[in-house]
């Protein structure tokens, strides 16, 4: 729910505005060979969500070769004796604060930080609990010192105590981490440890987001990371790791930070791709994890040494005709992934998923997804989105910041 505010910035936004999008989400996988035996590979799929000023509802439309476990998570079965061909197509409805609302807040803070510093936030009772996580003190101190040293380049700063102004810290902190070149953007399919990101000063969307979480938490600002698929029309990308190829259409996997600001609610800080600021975002996980374990990296690399195949992740317009036909959908998948028609037997027009049930009940914060213990094909591929998505937001922010330096 919207929270009343006496902020000077409130005059520039309409808190009641919402943005709603409905689209199709497709996850298709083809595994031609593997040495894995009796394994389930989990597919990243949207979750039902009613929290963080978001409402996401998911309806299963078509699927083949996909199963659900007792928690409702989708997986495929693989074994060396058979080819794996599976897909799940879902209708996803996403409602959030209007993109204009978020962008107006960001613009106003960047253009007129003095007004933001004079704003009055809501009461302490309105702050949600449990979203200021634990973090390494040495890393937090280092990032915070670098951030406040960077702020000194701005005329408005003048050694002000910004810690009392979470909106200013959040917006300028996001700019510092995502766009200031403090961390060099470097896409990498293989996960990085926190110490590696800090020491090398390079990373991709999820690496940067973990550092931003630490920075915000050090100021006691509630925040978490959203993982999923940012829907960008006409965008496509292919990436290969080992013998496995990933194909992304209509957007790509991404991660960014959502922060809670008293008087404003939850605010997207995605200055890389513009999720919930410019583009719709399909959420498939929520996270407060700031470290990647060596075991997870090893599991990820072992998985890609054990399979050969392809995966298609895409968002499609809600009026796309392929969603109404198994034949049309499979022809689209096969053509996109270059799968010969002789390899896969066509599915029936009324084929329904075996042992699969659609997710129909919205989850709340307490029910947020916990990854299953078995492999996930897509567990760490959030790192792959390139900075092409950032162009619109980057140009806007750079133009605005030139006015306030």
Assess contact for 234 and 215: CB atoms under 8 A. Answer: no
Q: How far apart are CA 251 and CA 284, in angstroms?
A: 14
Query: pLDDT at position 232, please?
Result: 94
Question: 348-382 burial by CB neighbour count: b if 16+ within 10 A, else e?
Answer: eeeeebeebebbeeebeeeebbeeeeebbbbbbbb
CA distance from start to end of the chain: 35
**CB 335: neighbour CB atoms within 10 A?**
10
Query: pLDDT at position 16, please?
Result: 54
**CB 237: neighbour CB atoms within 10 A?**
16
For the entire predicted model, the pTM comes to 0.83
Query: pLDDT at position 18, please?
Result: 87
Query: pLDDT at position 79, please?
Result: 87
Q: What is the mean pLDDT of each run of 10 residues along the chain (405 residues)?
A: 35 61 97 86 94 95 94 90 94 94 92 80 63 94 95 85 91 95 83 86 92 97 96 91 92 95 92 94 94 81 87 96 92 94 64 39 34 37 40 44 46
Q: How far apart are CA 71 and CA 55, in angstroms?
A: 20
Closest CA to 25 of 62, 50, 73: 62
Q: How far apart are CA 1 and CA 223, in angstroms?
A: 17
Query: pLDDT at position 378, please?
Result: 41
**CB 327: neighbour CB atoms within 10 A?**
12
């Amino acid at each position: 729910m919207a929270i009343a505010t006496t902020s000077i910035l409130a005059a520039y936004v309409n808190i009641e505005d919402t943005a709603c999008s409905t689209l199709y989400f497709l996850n298709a996988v083809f595994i031609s060979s593997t040495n894995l035996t009796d394994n389930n590979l989990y597919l990243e799929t949207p979750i039902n969500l009613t929290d963080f000023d978001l409402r996401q509802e998911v309806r299963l439309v078509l699927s083949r070769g996909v199963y659900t476990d007792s928690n409702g998570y989708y997986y495929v079965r693989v074994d060396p004796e058979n080819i794996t061909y599976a897909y799940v197509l879902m209708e996803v409805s996403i409602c959030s604060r209007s993109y204009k609302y978020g962008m107006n807040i960001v613009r106003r803070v960047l253009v007129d930080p003095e007004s933001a510093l004079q704003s009055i936030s809501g009461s302490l009772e309105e702050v949600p609990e449990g979203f200021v996580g634990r973090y390494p003190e040495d890393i937090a101190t280092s990032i915070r010192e670098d951030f406040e040293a960077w702020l000194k380049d701005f005329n408005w700063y003048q050694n002000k105590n910004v810690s009392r102004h979470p909106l200013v810290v959040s917006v300028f902190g996001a700019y510092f981490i995502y766009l200031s070149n403090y961390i060099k953007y470097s896409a990498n399919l293989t996960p990085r440890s926190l110490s590696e990101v800090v020491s090398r000063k390079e990373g991709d969307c999820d690496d940067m987001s973990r550092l931003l979480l630490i920075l915000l938490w050090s100021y006691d600002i509630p925040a978490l990371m959203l993982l999923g698929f940012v829907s960008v029309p006409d965008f496509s990308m292919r990436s290969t790791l080992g013998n496995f190829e990933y194909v992304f259409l209509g957007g790509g996997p991404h991660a960014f930070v959502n922060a809670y600001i008293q008087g404003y609610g939850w605010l997207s800080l995605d200055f890389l791709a513009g999720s919930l600021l410019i583009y719709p975002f399909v959420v498939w996980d929520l996270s407060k994890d700031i470290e990647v374990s060596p075991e997870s990296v090893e599991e990820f690399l072992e998985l890609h040494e054990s399979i050969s195949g392809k995966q298609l992740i895409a968002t499609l317009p809600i009026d796309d005709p392929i969603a109404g036909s198994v034949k049309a959908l499979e022809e689209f998948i096969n053509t996109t992934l270059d799968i010969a028609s002789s390899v896969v037997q066509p599915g029936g027009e009324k084929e329904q998923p075996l042992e699969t049930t659609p997710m129909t009940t919205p989850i709340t914060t307490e029910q947020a997804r916990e990854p299953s213990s078995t492999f996930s094909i897509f567990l760490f591929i959030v790192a792959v989105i390139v900075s092409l998505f950032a162009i619109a937001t980057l140009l806007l922010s750079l133009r605005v910041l030139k006015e306030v330096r």
